[in-house]
């Protein structure tokens, strides 16, 4: 590992990568429990793949922004360490597959040379902060949300308050009230607003989520001043860390905390945390993400013609829009199933370089956005894209199907969603060509119910499932209808209508679209669905669910030759519960070291939070030694009082709750940090000695 130790300029990143390499070695030697190691690698973007012995590496690209140089670096890394493919995700990340675990530290080091991180791309952390891809060039935006998304990403990266939460947190920034970043299905969704004096702020949507049980977010702030964005988010994370579920993974998201305690109580707890925040206000540098420079003007051949004139006009109509910057255009690239082979990625960069700014944005529907194309650059750009196969018209239309990887690589996948997406797009292109202009209906597919393909917010959605017939398992899809974005934080969750064999999904789509064209009469899809009603669509599609008419090929999933089997692995989208006493005590010692390092660096808030973790970890270890478990941090604190302090087994001045929960009753200054850290160290040493004596006895 010597190469990156000496070459990386950022010592914090270097330490991170060296730590990953050391933890891998310790894991191989059997010194780290498998569950603990899984949690650690997930927080570093390394995710177990469906195929044994290899990993998926997720690259964290804030709001999907990537430069030419970065994209080329990622392509080189994918060739060297992975499968030579780049997969664009619905959270504006890029994933590399088939990576050896032992090579992930070096892979990370190679990416960091161009300021690309894996840190907290997976696991129980703040995931990639997303935004509308056209932020900064959107003609209807009040202001560019990109600097706010970048500030949020940077502030919470490696932040102690969100390193080991019960589950992940997802945050989005929409460019305007059209809400193209889907605030209503995020833990925190921000929509830009101006008050009566023209001051910037955000409407705040809270505790939304998809997954197997979708929840629509609630409005908690109609106007949050811009300098309160970071402090408010920190308060939310502190509450989630302390009160969020940790034992039952299926109930460990923010939406379930609100369901359990009530929105009023959760918002009250958030307000209680304000005093403990690192900053009461946090001004955002509005120049943090400057607009990229437009490409230089170049002389173009006056005789140049489009390679396909009819298709060129179609491409202009569906993939190109005028930016708010006069004279410039944004151009969307539709990337089928979100996959780009590395050789084509390199050719793409060279093909677009003369005509676009050096900033590409990955979109939520797995495409790409190019910026600052001059009017006279559209035609040569189109010809170059067409030659490479990237001038696919119908971006973000009915014909642009969003999909997760499904059974191609995901442990949780039930169905081959990517092959199904290709089938459905072909149906639209061949049979409903006029609908490539329809951007008001979205089709989304997930390989399972967990909604990585966002089927829960689709007008027409499918997720992988199975049915039994004739003693065999048949691959199936659950048909979901009526979801989608309404606007300004309002959205709709798609309803489960019927389950049909997967090989009949194209007939489902054809039946719905034919009925829509026949009966919609100018209505939106939402109006059409609401007017008809769920039962109407159940009856319409019921013949396709008839299992007495199955053919042999319907026992085989799309893209496969073998008979279908529901082989579901262990999902790693959230981390794991670490419940070994020795491991917890070891972690306590590690966190105590981090607390002291933060204190010496003058980072009082970080030192306090690390010390808080020492208290909780140590108490949890002693409780588990007695066979007592608690599903939240606040539960650990209360159970320790009941089973150790009140019984007199551990003597404290007052209760453990009073001692630990000083954290949200004091400002994070040097005096409180010193006292709190000292107390945590003494508590840890005393209880570790107590446990060691018991083991020895």
Q: Give the pLDDT confidence of 317-334 residue by residue, as tens digits.
A: 999 999 999 999 999 999
State the pLDDT at residue 585: 82
Helices 146-156 and 229-243, axial angle in degrees (round to 10): 40
Which of 276, 300, 330 marks a domain boundary?
276
State the pLDDT at residue 157: 96
Same domain, 344 and 412: no
Same domain, 610 and 517: no
Same domain, 187 and 271: yes
State the pLDDT at residue 578: 35
Assess if residue 121 is contained within a domain: no
Interatomic CA distance for residues 482 and 476, integer angstroms: 20
Name the pLDDT band for 452 (thresholds 50, 70, 90): confident
Same domain, 381 and 408: no
Interatomic CA distance for residues 463 and 18, integer angstroms: 40
Same domain, 29 and 92: yes
Same domain, 435 and 527: yes
Which of 495, 520, 555 marks a domain boundary?
555
Average pLDDT, the chain: 92
Same domain, 429 and 342: no
State the pLDDT at residue 561: 67
Which domain range does residue 28 map to? 2-112
State the pLDDT at residue 564: 56
CATH number for the domain including 63?
Answer: 3.90.480.20
Q: Give the pLDDT confidence of 119-164 residue by residue, as tens digits.
A: 999 999 999 999 999 999 999 999 999 999 999 999 999 999 999 8
Q: Give the pLDDT confidence of 491-517 residue by residue, as tens digits.
A: 999 999 999 999 999 999 999 999 999
Residue pair 134/212 in contact (Cβ under 8 Å)? The answer is no
Q: Give the pLDDT confidence of 38-96 residue by residue, as tens digits.
A: 878 888 889 988 888 899 999 999 999 999 999 999 999 999 999 999 999 999 999 99
Quote the number of domains for the chain.
5
Name the pLDDT band for 580 (thresholds 50, 70, 90): low
Q: Give the pLDDT confidence of 26-42 residue by residue, as tens digits.
A: 888 887 877 778 878 88
CA distances to 84, 244, 339, 425, 652 from 342, in Å: 5, 41, 10, 24, 61
Average the pLDDT over 589-609 and give the result.
95
Short-list 280, 241, 100, 225, CA closest to 636: 241
Average the pLDDT over 377-399 and give the result.
96
CATH number for the domain including 377?
Answer: 3.90.480.10
Residues in the chain: 697
Same domain, 616 and 663: yes
Short-list 118, 58, 695, 40, CA closest to 409: 58
Assess if residue 162 is contained within a domain: yes
Same domain, 270 and 215: yes
Short-list 117, 134, 139, 135, CA closest to 126: 117
Top pLDDT among 590 and 175 is at: 175
Same domain, 353 and 237: no
Same domain, 435 and 479: yes
Name the pLDDT band for 566 (thresholds 50, 70, 90): low
Q: Does the pLDDT of residue 2 top 90, yes or no?
A: no
State the pLDDT at residue 40: 82
CATH number for the domain including 670?
Answer: 1.20.120.330
Average the pLDDT over 182-195 and give the result.
98
Q: Does the pLDDT of residue 1 top 60, yes or no?
A: no
Residue pair 393/425 in contact (Cβ under 8 Å)? The answer is no
End-to-end CA distance of the chain: 42
Same domain, 409 and 375: no
Assess if residue 642 is contained within a domain: yes
Please tell me whether residue 460 adopts helix, strand or coil conformation.
Answer: strand
Name the pLDDT band for 575 (thresholds 50, 70, 90): very low
Assess if residue 119 is contained within a domain: no
Assess if residue 415 is contained within a domain: yes
Q: Give the pLDDT confidence of 652-681 residue by residue, as tens digits.
A: 999 999 999 999 999 999 999 999 999 999
Strand 85-88 to 200-206 pairing: unpaired
Interatomic CA distance for residues 641 and 647, integer angstroms: 8
Average the pLDDT over 390-411 and give the result.
88
Average the pLDDT over 290-303 and give the result.
90
Q: Give the pLDDT confidence of 525-536 residue by residue, as tens digits.
A: 999 999 999 999
Q: Give the pLDDT confidence of 608-619 residue by residue, as tens digits.
A: 999 999 999 999
Q: Does the pLDDT of residue 577 top 50, yes or no?
A: no
CATH number for the domain including 503?
Answer: 3.30.413.10
Least confident of 117-126, 355-364, 465-474, 567-576: 567-576
Residue pair 180/195 in contact (Cβ under 8 Å)? The answer is no
| Proportion of the chain above pLDDT 70, given as a percent | 96
Assess if residue 299 is contained within a domain: no
| Proportion of the chain above pLDDT 90, given as a percent | 79
Query: In sequence order, which residues have a C-beta less than 8 Å from that of residue 494 and are 6 or more positions away?
Result: 455, 456, 457, 458, 459, 461, 480, 481, 482, 483, 484
Interatomic CA distance for residues 249 and 144, integer angstroms: 36
State the pLDDT at residue 187: 98
State the pLDDT at residue 634: 97
Assess if residue 395 is contained within a domain: no
Assess if residue 291 is contained within a domain: no
């Amino acid at each position: 590992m010597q190469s990156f130790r000496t070459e990386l300029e950022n010592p914090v990143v270097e330490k991170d990568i060296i730590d990953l390499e050391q933890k891998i070695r310790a894991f191989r030697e059997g010194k780290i429990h498998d569950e603990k190691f899984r949690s650690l690698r997930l927080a570093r973007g390394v995710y177990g793949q469906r195929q044994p012995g290899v990993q998926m590496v997720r690259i964290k690209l804030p709001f999907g922004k990537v430069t030419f140089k970065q994209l080329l670096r990622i392509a080189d890394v994918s060739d060297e360490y992975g499968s030579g493919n780049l997969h664009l995700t619905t959270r504006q990340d890029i994933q590399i597959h088939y990576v050896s675990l032992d090579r992930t530290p070096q892979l990370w080091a190679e990416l960091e040379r161009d300021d690309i991180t894996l840190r907290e791309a997976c696991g129980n952390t703040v995931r990639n902060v997303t935004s509308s891809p056209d932020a900064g060039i959107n003609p209807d935006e009040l202001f560019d949300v990109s600097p706010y998304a970048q500030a949020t990403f940077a502030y919470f990266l490696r932040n102690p308050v969100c390193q080991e939460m019960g589950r992940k947190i997802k945050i989005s920034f929409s460019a305007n009230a059209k809400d193209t970043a889907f605030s209503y299905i995020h833990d925190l969704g921000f929509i830009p607003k101006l008050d009566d004096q023209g001051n910037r702020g955000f409407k705040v949507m809270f505790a939304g989520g998809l997954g197997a049980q979708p929840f629509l977010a609630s409005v908690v702030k109609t106007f949050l001043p811009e300098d309160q964005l970071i402090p408010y988010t920190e308060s939310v994370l502190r509450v989630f860390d302390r009160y969020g579920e940790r034992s039952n993974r299926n109930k460990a998201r923010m939406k379930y905390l609100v369901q359990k305690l009530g929105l009023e109580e959760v918002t009250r707890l958030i307000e209680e945390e304000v005093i403990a925040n690192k900053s009461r206000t946090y001004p955002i540098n509005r120049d943090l993400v400057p607009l990229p420079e437009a490409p230089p003007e170049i002389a173009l051949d006056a005789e140049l013609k489009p390679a396909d004139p009819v298709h060129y006009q179609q491409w202009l109509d569906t993939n190109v829009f005028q930016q708010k910057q006069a004279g410039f255009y944004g151009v969307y690239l539709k990337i089928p199933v979100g996959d780009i082979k590395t050789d084509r990625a390199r050719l793409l960069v060279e093909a677009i370089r003369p005509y676009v700014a050096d900033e590409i944005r990955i979109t939520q529907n797995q495409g790409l956005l190019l910026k600052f194309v001059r009017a006279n650059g559209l035609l040569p750009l189109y010809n170059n894209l067409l030659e490479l196969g990237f001038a696919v018209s119908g971006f973000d239309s009915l014909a642009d199907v969003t999909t997760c990887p499904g059974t191609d690589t995901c442990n949780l996948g039930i169905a081959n969603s990517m092959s199904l997406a290709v089938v459905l797009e072909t149906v639209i292109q061949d049979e409903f060509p006029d609908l490539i202009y329809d951007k008001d209906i979205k089709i989304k597919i997930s390989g399972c119910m967990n909604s990585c393909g966002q089927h829960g917010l689709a007008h027409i959605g499918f997720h992988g499932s199975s049915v039994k017939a004739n003693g065999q398992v048949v691959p199936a899809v659950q048909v979901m209808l009526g979801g989608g974005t309404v606007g300004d934080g309002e959205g709709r969750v798609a309803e489960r209508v019927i389950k049909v064999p997967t090989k009949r999904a194209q007939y489902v789509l054809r039946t719905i679209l034919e009925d829509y064209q026949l009966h919609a009469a100018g209505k939106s899809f939402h109006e059409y669905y609401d007017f008809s009603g769920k039962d109407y669509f159940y009856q319409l599609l019921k013949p396709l669910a008839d299992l007495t008419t199955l053919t042999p090929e319907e026992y085989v999933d799309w893209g496969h030759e073998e008979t279908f089997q529901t082989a579901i692995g262990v999902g790693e989208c959230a981390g794991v519960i670490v419940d070994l006493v020795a491991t917890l005590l070891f972690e306590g010692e590690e966190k105590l070291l981090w607390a002291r390092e933060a204190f010496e660096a003058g980072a009082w808030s970080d030192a306090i939070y690390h010390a808080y973790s020492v208290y909780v970890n140590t108490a949890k270890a002693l409780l588990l030694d007695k066979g007592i478990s608690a599903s939240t941090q606040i539960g650990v604190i209360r159970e320790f009082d009941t089973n150790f302090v009140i019984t007199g087994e551990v003597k404290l001045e007052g209760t453990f709750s009073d001692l630990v929960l000083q954290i949200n009753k004091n400002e994070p200054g040097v005096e409180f940090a010193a006292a709190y850290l000292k107390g945590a160290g003494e508590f840890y040493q005393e209880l570790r000695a107590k446990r060691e004596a018991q083991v020895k006895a």
